[in-house]
Structure 1
Amino acid sequence: MRREEVAARAGISPDYYTRLEQGRPRVPTPGVLDALAHALLLGDAERAYLHTIAVPRRPRLAGAPEPLTPAARAMLDALTGTPAFVIGPRFDLLAWNRLGSALMAGLAERPPHQRNLLWQVFCCPHGAATPANREPDDSIGAQLVAALRAEHAGRPADPGLGRLVARLSAASPDFAALWDMHRAGGPGEGELRVAHPLLATDTLPFTLLTLPTPGHRLFVCLPPPGTPAPFDALAASAT
């Protein structure tokens, strides 16, 4: 839409909208931001992102990741039939169960920057060989980048998050292109495409669940409907 169309839909003047684009009003009101979100047809996550970047606030600096709680560790160990991981706010892989370790072999021995779900999707040899994970619409890669963008908005002074974005952008043109789309949102569920010799499928549904520890999520791969015992050979290799 043209600037005048957005302003008309939001019920503000084109001049005021131009000044908003230029950052000249210091703090637009929540009502104006909601009107702009409505005019631009933003979803709930994108609306929240707009409010985050538009209102000045004290930057949040991220320290060391919160430790894994005993309950989260017990939950991982109880998920014996499917790969599962606990991930942090930057999508670092903080912990995994036995099948998760088998699915992403050698995680414990890899450099810390490679123990990251974004790195696995965009930069590791298996991830880089699976373009479907990095499609601009409705892929796991697009979801994760939008979620990282939302996290980045609330942590503008977090050097670790900035370094992660720079590292991924340098290593993966696909990540850089998705990052430049400026989408923001939260990951939920979708499909992870895999090429693993011990899996009876090349598509794993996944879901992401929020854990009580701030910033922690549980990432669980699920057996595809109609695919009997997809993890049996993977489980046998992990014994």
Structure 2
Amino acid sequence: MSETPLSAFLRARRLGLLPADAGLATGPRRRTPGLRREEVAVRAGISADYYARLEQGRQRLPTGAVLDGIAAALLLTEPERTYLHGLARLRTAPTAADTDGPPTVDATATALLASLDRSPAFVTGPRFDLLAWNPYAAALMAGPASRPALERNLLWQVFCCPYGSAESANHAPTGSIGADLVAGLRAQHADRPDDRELAALVALLCARSPQFAALWARHRAAPPRQGRLALHHPDLDTEILDYTVLGLPGAGRHLFVYLPTSGVRERDPFRRLREGPAARPAARR
């Protein structure tokens, strides 16, 4: 049988888990990275043959207890355990949430954006599409309203936009905005295997960014969280911004707010964003 989302996840997480992390000895006879299938099966309390069928996509509908055992064996976090359960019950028929057209932003979220008049802020949808933003965010992201639909996306901004894509700190395997966004994308789509827009976005980003492709292949899953963004922007008087993420009503809605780091808040690093290109220092001749 062909690889399934569940089997791909299990294989990636097994190969990404260090034997030492699972309390197993390493030695010269261990030829492959990660754990062996038999080792995962023993830790999960199931037969090696049953686990092999799961990882090969030949076993249907594992029970919740089996999934919990595998989650413990692979040292999954709670969001990843939830994601694993979601993969095991993947649906194939689209729901209204998939077919009702582009998501919208309600009046409360719009008013909240308008009230954040000192920092860049924006609302994203389930695929981290940019749904609404305040003027600071529009300036920081080089006018998302004028960009093609696939580029009106926070992942595109981090992995493909020149302002942020060149910064390796944004794409570190753990603790980076890139890793968190990729994990968030997986976490929000465990039960949507037929999401064509998601498939198109992933294909675009994998083709444009080896860093995104590498993070996507790790099969991490977790909700987005606060962190730091590194970028070079001509109208920004800092190269590091803190950001925070708030959940909003509606499936997959989040509010992102960028804030100056504590060392530069007094300098008002967003001043030139407010004043526009005219505030840039004149180029030397």
TM-score scaled by length of structure 2: 0.79
- Kept after mapping to 1: 8 A contact 2:90/2:192: no
Letter in 1 for 2:165: A
Task: Give the aligned CA root-mean-square deviation in angstroms.
Answer: 1.8
Show structure 1 runs of 4+ deviating over 4 A: none
Letter in 2 for 1:53: L
Moved more, 71-80 or 174-183: 174-183
Asked if 1:52 is matched to 2:86, the reply is yes
Report the counterpart of residue 272 of structure 2 in structure 1. 233
Report the counterpart of residue 175 of structure 2 in structure 1. 138
Q: Deviations over 1:3-41 (max 9, x none)?
A: 222112111222222222233332111011011101110
- Kept after mapping to 1: 8 A contact 2:90/2:193: no
- Kept after mapping to 1: 8 A contact 2:170/2:178: yes
Where in structure 2 are there 5+ consecutive unaligned residues?
A: 1-34, 279-285
Asked if 1:9 is matched to 2:40, the reply is no
Higher relative contact order (Cα pairs below 8 Å, separated by 6+ residues): 1
Task: Provide the secondary structure at the position in 2 that maps to 1:222.
Answer: strand
Q: Which residue of 48, 68, 75 corresponds with 1:41?
A: 75
**Cα distance between partner residues in 1 of 2:145 and 2:91:** 38
Q: CA deviation at 1:56?
A: 4.1
Asked if 1:103 is matched to 2:140, the reply is yes
Letter in 1 for 2:219: H
Q: CA deviation at 1:66?
A: 2.4
Letter in 2 for 1:94: L
Task: Provide the secondary structure at the position in 2 that maps to 1:186.
Answer: coil
Q: Deviations over 1:214-233 (max 9, x none)?
A: 22110111221121122223
Q: CA deviation at 1:91?
A: 0.9
Q: CA deviation at 1:121?
A: 0.8
Q: CA deviation at 1:196?
A: 1.6
Moved more, 20-29 or 118-127: 20-29
Asked if 1:74 is matched to 2:111, the reply is yes
Q: Deviations over 1:148-190 (max 9, x none)?
A: 1223322100111111111111111111111112222211111
- Kept after mapping to 2: 8 A contact 1:65/1:88: no
Report the counterpart of residue 182 of structure 1 in structure 2. 219
Report the counterpart of residue 28 of structure 1 in structure 2. 62
Report the counterpart of residue 53 of structure 2 in structure 1. 19
Percent of aligned pairs sharing the same letter: 56
**Cα distance between partner residues in 1 of 2:93 and 2:201:** 18
Q: Deviations over 1:197-218 (max 9, x none)?
A: 3322211111111101222110
**Cα distance between partner residues in 1 of 2:119 and 2:194:** 37
Task: Provide the secondary structure at the position in 2 that maps to 1:205.
Answer: strand
Aligned length: 239
- Kept after mapping to 1: 8 A contact 2:130/2:152: yes
TM-score scaled by length of structure 1: 0.93
Moved more, 77-86 or 194-203: 194-203
Where in structure 1 are there 5+ consecutive unaligned residues?
A: none
Task: Provide the secondary structure at the position in 2 that maps to 1:152.
Answer: coil
Cα separation, partners in 2 of 1:43 and 1:60, compared to 1, 3 Å: farther
